[in-house]
Structure 1
């Protein structure tokens, strides 16, 4: 059965696969510690087996030598007296002719004319035998090895304890050595997330070791690469922001003159078209300037406490949304008055952009509702495209063709102004169709 197969008897996954799955859930520090401990355990087991075998060979050789010497003395006594002392000697040795407990391999070797020994350390009564032929009979000596077996058991226990201590120290040492690596990698990941969220000033600033050379310290290489990437990205974005702000600012003066000249044209259909395009160009220029200010993070909100439903209702009553591209109305509903801390002017800008987006690209009716500290703008058109919901709004990209034409700056400005006042804008599609924009404001 190969790894990864299912045991056909009980239907459970094989243990190595579960062990690998459990290992994958650990952090890098504990993975390194576990692998180092496992490696040390393998080495400790191998060394322990070698030491155990060497010690066992030493004990066996000493026991065999002692049994052979005792056999020589017993044989000499037998040749002089013709008798064997069957009683135990001082060291527990027993001698006998054709002993009933004599191991069969040893008996066969003795009858074949060879003087041999037999070591038995695994039985309940460990002993060493020595035997030699005496005529057609076998003279044997048995030496008990209980004391040596107990010493071997104690020796093995000491090996196990020493091996466990070595493995534990290796695991702790591995965790200590890996903790710095893990800490540096977590710091790099944190900085990378901050950069992805727009904090382009974030840097790892990893201290380089003396004599640092690329390729020698992987963590330092990673930190240097991330910092270099962040600095390069920051320079490019700042250059783009300056270019956008400079272009919008330089266009303001000629557009003001163009607007004045358009107002002096005699009334006609071409005049209306020119004035309309000039107004659209002026609005685009103002949007670009606002985006540049948001990108530069120079906007500062004027936060005050307001009753949200009453504030939004006053915007509707003042005709805040009357200047939108179509003459369709907006349905307003306020439920559950709640005090919020916000900048009224910026909230107007957020809602005007969301309502304008709904009226320009969505379908009738456009609904504006307040429920507690939440403002919802909904239309009944084709909804937001999937890439916009997945990636967020992008400037100069309006999404699906069925949602119409535009600059793509309205939602960008709405989300930027929401971030300035501490609000959150959530974009979604309603289950029964239509785009839904939810503005969640901080309560006072």
Structure 2
């Protein structure tokens, strides 16, 4: 059935969709949205992971710690004076900090034992820091810059960010003055993230000062990684959009065409789905298209068969009804008892024929439904044939042909996959057909065999045989060809047709042939060798896999 969005019908109006602004059908829009959602999650995850690069922060902390411990050791060894109470020579320590070049991306600060800033790598480098000056102060506004922990003009006490940065730096230095190494992230003056380590400069156990190393390039590295990731993101977006459009064209559009074709079939504007360019595709949609075509063709053939069956039924019923009407109209005009008896016999025969026709037509009409309703199960043909033949033998009447069953020695079971009731009906139809052509003292022989993985059932009679030109016609519906003297109306002509229909549904075959007596002479043609000894119906079924 077609989708509600793209295929409209009188009894099923289209509904506005949430994503109508996207091109294509509902399935195509779903493909596009799902691709974009997955891509958005991927991009968001990549950006979030870049924001929280713990590995980068830890690596910077390790690097700064190694450098800081080395610098602290050098300053302790070279700039410590005084015995027994050691002190740090601030001027000499500043010179050492100036001689040991630091990367431009890092900043080193040196504090004395009181927490006062005595050296800053920015003071002794050629780095020029600039920023907009704060508003001018008026007299009485309070104290000026606090240079104890400030770095000069970069710390603006009037700025909230600067105050937070100064407080964080003060807490970090105070922690180190207690002899504890400090390492982590803190907020800088401009609100940027700063990786900082503070290492106490100790001489034995005395803390002479604090060396602080900080790196402000974390945001720059993350921004650079984002910029490097941007081309890949753009390529991924382009590929996702192209794949979505391609899937829309290759999947959603053909499915929509199939849905429209199915709607045309449903609305009786076509007898079969036909989408040639899709059927030629070597993929699942091609398989679906071919399967739908085969299905609709099969349904069309079934409809034609039903129409032919209805026409045949009407024709077959019309004949006895016409005979009945004529007999009834004539019955009132006939006064001779013998003539009235003949008319009554005609009426009885026509009623019997109608009864047989109605019964067989009912069985034939229910056959397809019964075959499709029940699942196939393993069936033992030897047991089934034995049961059916035993029933005929138990209910046989005087003057009726006998029914026998034979099977080769050692053939205990022959298993097939099918429906036991339907196969039993095949056997009954073939046996009834053979008995109707047999003499009262004749014998109907049923045999079971096996050949090349197939089960063979043969039903033989001793009747007059089948004309060669009618070996296939006898399986057509309502076809009857009986010798003179056969009871009128005793057969509807549906038994063999029903038997073939059941066998075909079980992936088997059924054929008819004539048996001949072995009286051939050299030079005779095969079809002329011997007299006809009767008819043989052979059923071939595939054996069930064990």
Which structure dedicates a bigger proportion of its chain to helix?
1
Common fold, TM-score beyond 0.5? no
Larger Rg: 2
- TM-score calculated relative to the size of structure 2: 0.35
